[in-house]
Amino acid sequence: MHAVGRIMKDHQAPVIFVTAYPERLLTGEQEEPSFIITKPFEPTTLAITTYQAVTGGVKAI
């Protein structure tokens, strides 16, 4: 079973993958992660993506 499917089976949480090969995840054949960050990446990208995943993209006021 694909890792994303296994995670989502037990948890209602967004999934973030960091990978150098995003095309391997985006096949449309299995569940896909909520967010994909491609390598190389800036640490700020991971921080922003994590914030968006946790808050659903809602801006703090």
Comparing 1 with 45, which gets the higher pLDDT? 45
Question: Residue 43 pLDDT more than 50?
Answer: yes
Report the pLDDT averaged over residues 2-7. 75
Report the pLDDT averaged over residues 6-32. 81
Report the pLDDT averaged over residues 46-54. 93
Question: Residue 7 pLDDT more than 60?
Answer: yes
pLDDT at 1: 41
Please say whether the beta carbons of 14 and 34 come within 8 A: yes
Q: 25: Cβ–Cβ under 8 A, 6 or more apart, which residues? A: 4, 17, 19, 32, 33, 36
